[in-house]
Amino acid sequence: MAAATTSYHLRPARGWLNDPNGITRVDGVWHVFYQHNPLAPAHGHISWGHATSRDLAHWEDEPIAFSPTPGGPDSFGCWSGVFVPGHDRPAVAYSGVVDSSAVSTICLRWGSPDLRDWGPPVVVGRTPSSDGIVIMRDPYVLEHQGRRLAVLGAGLADGGPAIALFDRECETDWRYIGLLVDDDPLLRRIGSADIWECPQLFPLGGRWVLIVSLNHQGRLCEVVAAIGDLVERDGRLRFIAESAHILDDGADLYAPQVALTDADPLLLGWVRQPDQDPAVRDHSGCLSLPRRLSLAGGEVRSRIDPGAATALIGDASALPAGRTVLADRRWAIDVLGDGARLSHPARGVVDLSPGDQVWVDGAVLELYRHSGIPATWRHDEPWELRCATDGTARAQAIIPRVP
């Protein structure tokens, strides 16, 4: 089967991509960093890649932001992290790892105003020895009632997952203050995990939302959104979930990052792809389309950023009744009437409703439901779209990405 590559999703020209990191906007320019191996399309030698955009649709590759420091706290890899606002100069925090045990410290780097040059890593926090924490990673920063805080994903000695909470009032000396969440039955009901990776904790619609990516015995599983509140219990801040659900019900989205903006929160996720043979393909992995989040019907829902959608879409044409193979196409498909569905030899059949939109980019298909949560799939075998009648769906061509 020929490999179907992507064209308008954010990805490096070559090498490996996984989790999005450090999303921020400076002087009208979006900066997105990501886990990156520039040497091969395989997970290893993880640096921070960097891309910029003014419209969240057309991306420019930037030089690698920073790489593992020989003999330093991130000598085995610069793992996932976040942009740290509120200072007189740019800063990012991430998990630094020194060996294959994956035991990490929290590293901080100070950056230049244009976010292209970064200083050496400074260790600002360590994996605590209390509360049974044996592994910890992926810092995400927030503020609550005037306090500067951070959450990190954790795994416990008893095999359960947790969220560790740090006070970062002193940005160069983060202080562990306890578990924000551990054995939560709502999260456990959705999927098993021995570590909750890439936690995102942010306000939305008057509530707090916690997003976690489930890692179970090394297997990357579902991404879960929990809706609840932050409360004080026994002198400690805790997240109490009221409901929880799958954030994306496809098979291939993982490790999303959320950035708070003047508009609705922005989310980008990793569209997974396995290691590649360099003789077949020189890159692996891409990021999802940029999504705006809202709270509706007790769910965290997302839609493609309207500005990005406008920038990507070109001419439109009606699709005929019957079967259309979505092979190696660059389309945004609007579902206008009843009787449309997607089918795939490995992923099955997905019914579509009026108002749904399907974005196709080579091997990647993203479905944005008019009412409900989205779905993301990646597979080299093409999908088929079946329309009951003429006019059921309209295809809008994607303006090609400019190299």
Q: Which residues are catalytic?
A: 19
Please state whether 205 falls in left (phi above 0), alpha (psi between -120 and 50) or beta. Answer: left
Catalogue the long-range contacts made by 169-176 (C-beta closer than 8 Å, 24 or more residues apart). Answer: 171/84, 171/87, 171/91, 171/108, 171/124, 172/108, 172/122, 172/124, 173/124, 173/125, 174/106, 174/124, 174/125, 174/150, 175/125, 176/125, 176/128, 176/130
With a CB cutoff of 8 Å and minimum separation 6, the contacts of 70 are: none
On the 0-12 / 13-18 / 19+ scale of CB atoms within 10 A, 403 is exposed
Task: Tally Cβ neighbours within 10 Å of residue 206.
Answer: 7
> Which strand ranges, in their side-by-side order, compose the sheet holding 175-181?
133-144, 147-156, 161-167, 175-181
Fill in the amino acid letter for 248. D
Give 384's DSSP letter. E
Run of H or E residues at 333:
strand 330-335
